[in-house]
Amino acid sequence: MADYREMWRSLGIDLESHDNLLDILGKLYGDIYLSQNKRPEGMEYLDFVVSEVHGYRIKELLDAQKVGSKVFGTFCVFVPEELIWAADGICVGLCAGAEIGKGDAEKVLPRSICPLIKSFMGFKLAHLCPYTELCDLIIGETTCDGKKKAFEIFSEFKSTYVMETPQMKREKDYDLWRNEVYKLKEKVEEVTGKEITPERLKSAIKLINDRRRALKRLNKLRREIPVPISGRDALLINQISFYDDPKRFTEKVNLLCDELEKRIERKEGVVSDKTVRVLLAGSPMALPNWKLPGVIESSGAVIVDEESCIGERNIRAMVDESGETMEELIDALVDRYMQIDCACFTPNNERIEHIIQLAKDFKVDGVIHYTLQFCDPYLVESYKVEKALEKEGIPVLRIETDYSMEDVEQLKTRIEAFVEVLR
């Protein structure tokens, strides 16, 4: 790894705390990822991306800014990133998956707030996320009350634009969201100084659809028995999709899928065909939130799919590429993003139907429904999810946790007992 300390210093990063963070994450990554057996060779690229996630990729973004590109940061899959790429901008997901800057965050936020919200505030206030520091604009959304109010505070420290996301899916909600998408288009054009033409938007839609197609291809291969890739690695790939250059990332994932298809032909899995298969559903798992997958897969199970914003919810629906006019293309974006079945919606029966269908398609033995502490939408909805799964005869375990490592042994005990029952 090159020496990036001067680059980090120029971004205002707290170098001492950042060094400690990288040391901790490096050890955690080694324990959870590099210790695995039978990893596909194609994971070497993803390992490289993680090792340089605050290094080479940051340099790429800064170099792009030097020639006029603008960088936009997001925290949610609800933001239509196609508009950003259509204006020659760059969209990146922001750090929100670790217990970082907790003390700083709790000076401005309640202690009993969602760890994801506390995390993105902590990363900013502790000056530990190069992505947040270099962004020209942060785009937030109102998918939960905690985020909505936190962005009011966050905007005091970083230029922030907030989209209003609907809470229902009626005709007037589609109209509200269409208006928000048009307003975002105008904001992106204002920041970049570039006009978003139908031709540019059509090209950007294909760019991001291609990335989704590669990830859908990967997920389809995970249906095989034995599964050719671990759930940990698949989650990591989905997490990296929010950071990496989309064209390069798509090429690398398709090469990995080529390798996995050969593994499948040879009946070669990362675990035996008798291993308990689990669907992980619920709250998003932002990088570097690897705790629960690590515990699950070290407890005798393998995760074969994620019903999550860092998984199926992000890649299931595609944007219709047939439109030619701006109105047709914007409508296609509106329709695609309104298919997201986030727990912010009420009613949200489609999410429950999707979980049941995924459990059947991936031949899972059980479902682990994961919620972050104080994540009210997913916590409340877990009751209906559990009830529906039990009606279908699908075993389910509800897990509520945060980003700390204090409950690892407790989680391991509960998960090992669940896996034993499934076995």
Residues 171 and 288 in one domain: no
Residues 224 and 179 in one domain: no
Cβ contact 365:395 at 8 Å: yes
Residues 93 and 208 in one domain: no
Contacts of 379 (CB under 8 A, 6+ apart): 371, 400
pLDDT, tens digit, 9 for 90 and up, residues 245-271: 999 999 999 999 999 999 999 999 999
Is the per-residue pLDDT at 2 higher than 90?
A: no
Strands 160-163 and 90-93: unpaired
Q: Tell me which residue range forms the domain holding 263.
A: 203-318+342-422
Distances (CA, A) of 268 to 77, 279, 290: 34, 21, 25
Residue 198: per-residue pLDDT = 98
Which one of 168, 201, 234 terminates a domain? 201
Site of tokens 């940061």: 73
Residue 301: per-residue pLDDT = 98
Residues 192 and 249 in one domain: no
Residue 122: per-residue pLDDT = 97
Greatest CA separation found in the chain?
Answer: 59
CB atoms closer than 10 angstroms to residue 415: 22
Q: What mean pLDDT comes out for the span 209-214?
A: 98
- Among 81-85, 98-102, 170-174, the range scoring the smallest mean pLDDT is 98-102
Residue 293: per-residue pLDDT = 97
pLDDT, tens digit, 9 for 90 and up, residues 150-160: 999 999 999 99
Looking at the 3D structure of the chain, how many domains does it have? 2
Residues 137 and 218 in one domain: no
Q: How far apart are CA 241 and CA 46, in angstroms?
A: 10
Q: For a pLDDT cut of 90, what percent of the chain falls above it?
A: 99
Q: What burial letters (b/e) apply to 69-102, b meaning 16+ CB within 10 Å?
A: bbbbbbbbbbbbbbbbbbbbbbbbbbbbbbbbbb
Strand order from edge to edge, sheet including 90-93: 90-93, 71-74, 137-141, 160-163
Site of tokens 């048009």: 182
- Average pLDDT score, the chain: 97
Is the per-residue pLDDT at 147 higher than 90?
A: yes
Cβ contact 292:280 at 8 Å: yes
Given pLDDT bands bounded at 50, 70 and 90, which one contains residue 302?
A: very high
pLDDT, tens digit, 9 for 90 and up, residues 269-295: 999 999 999 999 999 999 999 999 999
Given pLDDT bands bounded at 50, 70 and 90, which one contains residue 1?
A: low
Residues 39 and 115 in one domain: yes
What is the CATH number for 75? 3.40.50.11890
Residue 95: per-residue pLDDT = 82
- Taking the model in full, what pTM does it have? 0.97
Cβ contact 242:315 at 8 Å: no
Is the per-residue pLDDT at 205 higher than 80?
A: yes
336 lies in a domain? no
Residues 183 and 296 in one domain: no
Q: What mean pLDDT comes out for the span 396-418?
A: 97
Residues 97 and 11 in one domain: yes
Residues 265 and 168 in one domain: no
Distances (CA, A) of 130 to 281, 297, 416: 30, 31, 38
327 lies in a domain? no
Residues 155 and 219 in one domain: no
64 lies in a domain? yes
Which one of 177, 201, 225 terminates a domain? 201
Which one of 185, 201, 217 terminates a domain? 201
pLDDT, tens digit, 9 for 90 and up, residues 315-347: 999 999 999 999 999 999 999 999 999 999 999
